[in-house]
Chains A and B, each alone.
Chain A
Amino acid sequence: MDRPTTRPHSIRPAWRKLRRNPGAMAGAVILLLLLLVSMLAPLLVPYDPTQVSVGPPLAPPGHRHVMGTDRFGRDVFSRIVAGSRLSLPMGLLAVSFALIAGTLLGLVTGYFGGRIDSWGSKGIDILLGFPPIMLALLIIAVLGIGIFNVIVAVGIGGIPRFARIVRGATLAARENVYVEAARAVGMSPLRVLLKHILPNVSAPIIVLATLYVGRAILESSALGFLGLGVQPPTPEWGTLLSEGREFMRHAWWLMVFPGLALFLSVVSINLLGDYLREVLDPRLKGT
């Protein structure tokens, strides 16, 4: 009785089927490459990303600078590679924050029910009542501008979304016979939640988390773009794009390449997330 005999959403077949889906496969390969670039960034950059005058200012892409240089003569390619070390982890951290807080909230409200559930659900509804970008902007207004604050601001918007899905899945999982049995033999609620409920609700959590990473990366870079996130001269894709906007007329490379990096990351994550949704949890379609 200690281990559930059937798991409705097992993760293993997902990896086997991955090779037959070209879109998801492409997403996985691109994502892997981007993560590698992000990890090996210090070895890959040809120039110091914050060093000015490594080339002439606003030089178009060429032999010495594959993606050109910016107004201070900094190497754009080096800055984009260095930016991946901020933009990708920021999205991942924001989702981790939303995932942990949202899952806890969903498990507790779904499992205990009663007054805890009715108050918890009201809280979830109120958080969902704020449009995500408003919530993020409000939090930035309160906490101030900074990398950590961006992660919190983007993460909080995700909490009610995780909580709602986990709550629903927990309500269903609670009715299983093995959960009843575990309770009957006197297992503590914490153990029941972690050993019997959590494994059963993990599939929708994984799917939502994957799809949310893309959104979190877009949102945190948007805050950078608006001047409310990472501040220049630190290279981050959103701030690079806001610099690119100023020189749109004279230096197209300043806006094309950072945008491309951002787009490729998000599209690869979404291709993968979409595939996971199909394989692991068809009920999540359209969320």
Chain B
Amino acid sequence: MSAYILRRLIGTVPVLIIATTIAFFALHLIPGDPVNLMLAGVPASIELRENLRRQLGLDRPLHLQYFNFLARAARGNLGVSFRTRQPVSQVIAQQLPATLELAAGGLLIGVTFGMGMGLVAGLRPNSPVDSLAMFIAIVGISIPGYWTAMLLIYVFGLRLGWVPIVGGGLAALILPSIVVGSFAVGDIARLVRSSIVEIRNEDYIRTARAKGLPERRVILRHALRNALIPVVTLIGLQLGLFVGGGVITETVFARQGIGKLLVDAILEKDYPVVQAIIMLVTAAYIAANFVVDLLYAVLDPRIRYS
């Protein structure tokens, strides 16, 4: 098992490096001088510009800039934000907790409702309950997240005044979590339904019933546990959705976070920040899928890694 983990970890290095390389060169293809952007129209002497360029390392050839960047990144130094002149790692660290809170809230809601709906639908396939659940699932996939967000803010925030729409705290996290979760509910529900429908007729389910286990136990311990495997994969793949959901949700709710930071950094051409976020998100994506692989073995004892 530990040899497997080590091999997988080593395998992620090239993917990360390639992703970072693409991002680095892509961002440096962009026309426009970062120094001009930093000065934001303030008049400055040629000398001052050259100084700034040297400070940022922009006077060196591109390939040297790239190796410098890699060497610094490997030591955890992600450069300095063009906009605020703060270290990028510090800028990101300030925004990260808000995004993690939101992702956790979204995951909780997405998984709870998605699994619930999928289970109810899968146990009674082709019943009215099933049709209703699957209709809700399609609506969930088709509704634009930022529109859901606006409708929720309008109804529960502005008209009814049940929840605060700005500020921190758990209450202000409710609506954004629902929005982020709604991105995943439909997909999870559909997947759980089809796994349950398939598993219902398996031998081990019949065995569990035959030995007189209560129905609740058959469903929860035997059916649902096996149905979880594809669902866990899906959640790993959907981490991107949670991040993407974060970009939009943070903007609509005017929350702080990595997504909002990324959009602002793109609009203001703050490339060190864009670069670092892409690296971070890609790494998180890879890590999530890695954890998913390990979870398989926990869920299904037949799977062994060596």
Contacts and interface: CB of A to CB of B under 8 A. Distances in A.
A23 interface: yes
A241 B247 contact: no
A244 interface: yes
Nearest to A136: B244
For A134, A139, A285, the residue with the greatest tally of chain B CB atoms inside 10 Å of its CB is A134
20 contacts: A130-B19, A131-B240, A134-B243, A137-B247, A138-B23, A141-B27, A141-B30, A142-B26, A222-B145, A222-B248, A226-B263, A227-B267, A241-B146, A248-B154, A259-B144, A259-B150, A262-B144, A270-B142, A285-B194, A286-B234
B146 A222 contact: yes
Given A134-B243, A286-B230, A248 B18 contact: no
B143 interface: yes
Contacts of A129: 15, 19, 282, 285-286
Contact of B252 (A227, A245, A252): A245
A241 B147 contact: yes
Contacts of B19: 126, 129-130
B117 interface: no
Interface string B259-297: 000110011010000100010011001100000000000
A133 B146 CA distance: 14
Interface string B205-243: 000000000000000000000000010001000011101
A266 interface: yes
A173 interface: no
Interface string B150-167: 110110001000000000
Contact of A244 (B15, B27, B150, B247): B150
Interface in B54-75: none
B138 A271 contact: yes
Nearest 9 pairs of A and B residues by beta carbon:
A131-B240, A133-B244, A259-B147, A267-B142, A266-B142, A141-B266, A142-B26, A286-B191, A270-B142
B150 A245 contact: yes
A221 interface: yes
Given A222-B145, A226-B247, A271-B138, 10 more contacts: A130-B285, A131-B282, A133-B240, A134-B282, A137-B247, A141-B266, A225-B251, A256-B151, A266-B144, A270-B138
Nearest to A227: B267
Nearest to A215: B141
Interface string B10-37: 0000010011000100110110000000
For B138, B146, B244, the residue with the greatest tally of chain A CB atoms inside 10 Å of its CB is B146
